[in-house]
Chain A
Amino acid sequence: MNLFIQLLLNGVVAGSVYALVAVGFALIFGATSHFHIAHAAVFSGAGYLAVIATQNLGLPGGVAAAVGLILAVLLGVALVRFLYTPLGRRGGQGFVLFLVSLGALVVVDNLFTINLGARPAQLSLGGWFHRAIPMGSWSMTVGQVALVAITVVAFTALLLVLTKTRAGKLITAYSGNPEFVEIVGRRPQRVLVLVYAAGSLFAALAGLYVAADTGMQPGLGETFFIISIMAVFIGGIGSVTGAFIAAMALGVLQNVLLMRIDAEWTLPVIFVLFLVLITVSPAGLSGLKLTSRRRPA
């Protein structure tokens, strides 16, 4: 039982990382239908850039993390501003936009690998990050508690913004009907940038945590991305809440599975379960809202 609860706690931590990436992607994918695979580059970029800021510029951990966060969000905005929108104007659609996104991911990821090498790039935020907080017979580190808290706060804030503010309503309007945004006198391009910036912010938070926890490595972005995207599909496309819940569930499942199977097999088992699920029910666990799927950027 003790082990189970500890694994449950670890699962919530892993689930929080997935949830941040998944919620960001759900926001972007729900609004644009664009399979923005370079989301993985924003995730790893935040971690890598923060590490570069400490190593090459000598900034303290906290400042470097902020720098990484801002630069990663700018990376997400730059992708839509300089790649997706111009390509969309030239008539590029679904598949072409996906390939350009894949190309951008490969470029960004490998440029960081050239700079930092294939070793894990560790972001040191200070000793507090790995200090354990004992909780009876279980424990979590300060960093883990901070991650879960930030995830819950960020997600709640997003829900509030989406439902209560003008910007959030514009995003919702955009997902249903981009032309409508134009009709009411708003620039669709601005809404688009806002969507990508907000989505990137979530991925960047997750990337910073992973860099500070285990270090960022080549290929790590893709792995976290693909698990999170599964959560988006399981939760139902267009639903940030569905993505959040499914991501948490995946994180918990992945850790609880450790009671029965070896660590190197937990991910394959989850992937196989996902394949079975979408084969049986392509719409995921909740209903799929087709009406919110519109043309990409």
Chain B
Amino acid sequence: MKQKNYIEDPHLKENPFTVPQGYFNEMKSQVAEKISASGSTTKTGFITVIRPHLALVSAFVIIFFIGFAALTVFTPRVSESELSTLTAGNKYIEEGFLKTTFIDFFDIDAENETGDIHTIPSDEVMSYISENIDIITLTSLE
């Protein structure tokens, strides 16, 4: 015997639910009121158009600030006392008290050597020459 197929009974396809009287008209006016209250903001406005671009720019700005903050936090700082020493040094340099340059450091020893040579008295030089070099050598120098 074939079993009864309840679901195919047309009676079950009928809608057993009801609504309060006049509900659909009321619903339509409620929706109309709500959309009127929300205004005509649904149209594609300027802000809507540029919103993706604004988002992109904002993302770059945020990334820049994060990078800047990371650099500031992780870069070792120069202490205030060191800074003041450097500032004072610069001041002396500017005012001409310290005229130390690269060339000065380079020539320090050479200058000292020539300085020693210049300090030998000319009399001693003359007597050294006259004792150690003969007349022939002296004339050949002329």
A and B physically associate: no
Residues of A that sit less than 8 Å from B by CB: none
On B, residues with C-beta under 8 Å from A are none
